[in-house]
Amino acid sequence: MIIWSRWGIVVFVFFGLSVGLGFALKALVAPSTGSNDPSTTAFIGTGFILGAAALWAFSKFALPRLDKASPSFVYQKLPEPVINDRGVRVTHRPVAVVNQETGQQIWTRPSSTFFFIPVRFWVYPIAALGLLTIIIGLTRV
């Protein structure tokens, strides 16, 4: 079962980096506290919020370039095979897909998803999880 398409795997990567960033923040700010300390939960929540901000920046600036639109083509069978200039036998040729009403070529834009949800929407659950984790960590103090 595939749970991501195209660049959707980065949601999983950013989620893991968020947890690691939270522990790194805890190690920098409060290295003497134990792992069961309530402040650890708040640091992990802060890591989630920073990870959500990094995912937002990735989906805003890098993802549109990675998922850019491309022209649509179909392959039409040739009546007889032809040998091209490189000596390869060709049996099909690409034909642009054209809108019948407008006569313009159709372009498709691929979509990067994780669990069938576009990457740009995963910023909100990760940030909400971070906020909830911070609230839980601060109320345990």
For residues 60 and 3, membership in a common domain is answered with: yes
For residues 81 and 59, membership in a common domain is answered with: no
Tell if the pTM clears 0.75, that is, is over it.
no
Write out pLDDT tens, residues 124-136: 999 999 999 999 8
Q: Which residues, at least 6 apart from 56, have a Cβ–Cβ distance to it below 8 Å?
A: 120, 123
For residues 58 and 40, membership in a common domain is answered with: yes
Task: Give the domain range for residue 130.
Answer: 1-68+111-141
How many structural domains are present in the chain? 2
- Nearest in space to 120 (alpha carbons), one of 4, 3, 8: 8
For residues 35 and 63, membership in a common domain is answered with: yes
Write out pLDDT tens, residues 46-82: 999 999 999 999 999 998 888 888 888 889 998 989 8
**29-43, 50-64, 69-83, 97-111: segment of lowest average pLDDT:** 29-43
For residues 95 and 119, membership in a common domain is answered with: no
